[in-house]
Chains A and B, each alone.
Chain A
Amino acid sequence: MRPGTRFILMIMAALPALGGGVGSASAADSAAPRVLIQQFMFAPVTLTVKAGTVVTWLNKDEEPHTIFSDAGLFRSGAVDTDGTFEFKFEKPGTYHYLCTIHPRMVGTIVVE
């Protein structure tokens, strides 16, 4: 199988498991733990939450970003200015992610 095809299939296989979604800032629950994306950084770079928590990322940059789990757990698609992405973390663990458009941007969600 070609690498490109395999990559696509891997992502497609992961899709039904996605609990996340891209939305607008107004649709986000302001009470939910939030990661702010600003100046090409995730803040806080490490966020600790309890199992079952929905985490919302909000992009305040003029550039789109993505939130991509390197373990394949979640992938946001392009989140443009003022856009949000949400994902519900069900299981305890340490989840690393990055922006595929700017892969030097990395973050971690610790679920207790």
Chain B
Amino acid sequence: MPHDPTQLTRRGALKCLAYGTAGTLFTLAGGVLTPLDLALAAAKPPATAAGRPLFLQISDTHIGFSKDANPDVSGTLMQTIELVNRLPQPPALTLHTGDITHLSKPAEFDLAQQMLAGLRGGELHTVPGEHDTTDPAVTEYFSRFGKASEDRGYYSFQHAGVHFLALVNVLQFRAGGLGTLGAEQVAWAIADLKARSASTPVVVFAHMPLWTIYEPWGWGTGDVEPVVAELRRFGSVTILNGHIHQIVQKVEGNITYHTARSTAYPQPGAGEGAGPGPLKVPPDQLAKLLGVTRASLAAHSLQLTDTTLS
């Protein structure tokens, strides 16, 4: 894609307007993300209504969880699937950013796969979460989803002119907390990116945050910096993750970081309480804290839209 100097002007013109309560829409142009209130967006359809649906991000389905915070995670996943299936234009791809299951049990993976097969979300691309890799031999995830990466877990692919990088930061366990990619994956990712033109929009996705949101709870990836350094030369970079069951975003130059909601249960904000466990909320609040993210692609911009179940 040729470099378009008008992007810079447009980027500068975009202003942060407001955060919505029922959902927030994000416009990304040249790597800069701008939230718009959904009510406002409904009143005046954004320019991206003309954009093509690019992908859906679903995360932290935690099939197998049954505690008070949500005794029916299959039910809320089904609501999510129905919400996506009602979209007038289905996404061409779905990225699942991990914690497909809660306890890495075969029956949990089987149910999740069976349910996700009913999603009108195009090709399914996954990365594992740490809840997906607790079986002693770490075979349950890889036997089902390892083919795309030849069992490495990390891989890249192209779609509609966008380069996607799927990274794994939950397999190298190191005491102390942060996620780890490992030297081999870091070297692979840098080499993979070096082969791309700086004008190619890049989407990077992993389970744990690829930026440090809260170190005491391990919400970050300790060895990601060399990969981010390589990403800085690109005009549009979107870095997505799950793991923290809530939306947090950051923009740094042309790089936009955006975390996803879970479809299962919310988690407390950073540092609120003993640890990042399930957060029990009043039953009528739950659906407002669960949801998915959609991305659409206009000529030179990637737009993210967060939608909750109610």
B51 within 8 A of A: no
Q: Which of A2, A5, A100 contacts B134 (CB 8 A)?
A: A100
Q: Which residue of chain A lies nearest to B178 when distances are taken between CB atoms in the complex?
A: A103
Q: How far is the CB of B113 from chain A (nearest CB, A)?
A: 19
Q: Is the CB of B103 within 8 A of A70?
A: no
B67 within 8 A of A: yes
Which residues of A are found within 8 Å of B123, using beta-carbon distances? Answer: none
Q: Is the CB of B275 within 8 A of A8?
A: no
Name B89-107 residues within 8 Å CB distance of A. Answer: 102-104
Q: Which label, helix, strand, loop or mixed, suits the secondary structure of the B interface?
A: loop
Most A Cβ at <10 Å: residue of B136, B176, B182, B217: B136
Q: How far is the CB of B304 from chain A (nearest CB, A)?
A: 28
Q: Could you mark each residue 100-144 of chain B with 1 if its beta carbon is under 8 Å from any beta carbon of chain A, else 0?
A: 001110000000000000000000000000110111111100100
A57 within 8 A of B: no
Query: Which of A26-34, A46-54, A76-84, A86-94 forms part of the interface with chain B?
Result: A76-84
Q: Which of A11, A61, A100 contacts B137 (CB 8 A)?
A: A11
Which residues of A are found within 8 Å of B185, using beta-carbon distances? Answer: 3
Task: Tell me the bound Cα distance from A77 to B217 in angstroms.
Answer: 21
Q: Is the CB of A102 within 8 A of B275?
A: yes
Task: Tell me the bound Cα distance from A3 to B182 in angstroms.
Answer: 9
Which residues of B are found within 8 Å of A101, using beta-carbon distances? Answer: 130-131, 134
Q: How far is the CB of B10 from chain A (nearest CB, A)?
A: 41
Q: Is the CB of B275 within 8 A of A77?
A: no
Q: Is the CB of B102 within 8 A of A103?
A: no
Q: Is the CB of B131 within 8 A of A78?
A: yes
Which residues of B are found within 8 Å of A40, using beta-carbon distances? Answer: 274-275, 277
A62 within 8 A of B: yes
Q: Is the CB of A63 within 8 A of B277?
A: yes
Query: Which of B17-25, B167-175, B233-241 forms part of the interface with chain A?
Result: B167-175
Task: Tell me the bound Cα distance from A104 to B130 in angstroms.
Answer: 13
CB contact under 8 A between A104 and B137, given known A8-B151, A40-B277, A96-B175: no
Which residues of A are found within 8 Å of B131, using beta-carbon distances? Answer: 64, 78, 101
Q: Which of B134, B137, B170, B175 contacts A106 (CB 8 A)?
A: B175
Task: Tell me the bound Cα distance from A89 to B133 in angstroms.
Answer: 25
Task: Tell me the bound Cα distance from A66 to B173 in angstroms.
Answer: 11
CB contact under 8 A between A3 and B130, given known A11-B137, A104-B216: no
Most B Cβ at <10 Å: residue of A5, A96, A104: A104
Q: Is the CB of B216 within 8 A of A64?
A: no
Which residues of A are found within 8 Å of B53, using beta-carbon distances? Answer: none
Q: How far is the CB of A95 from chain B (nearest CB, A)?
A: 13
A39 within 8 A of B: yes
Task: Tell me the bound Cα distance from A64 to B104 in angstroms.
Answer: 11
Q: How far is the CB of B231 from chain A (nearest CB, A)?
A: 21
Task: Tell me the bound Cα distance from A104 to B146 in angstroms.
Answer: 27
A35 within 8 A of B: no
Most A Cβ at <10 Å: residue of B150, B172, B175, B182: B175
Minimum-distance CB pairs A-B, first 4:
A40-B275, A104-B177, A78-B134, A39-B274
Q: Can you report 8 A-B residue pairs in the complex whose CB atoms are below 8 A from each other?
A: A2-B151, A7-B171, A39-B275, A64-B102, A66-B134, A101-B131, A104-B217, A104-B218
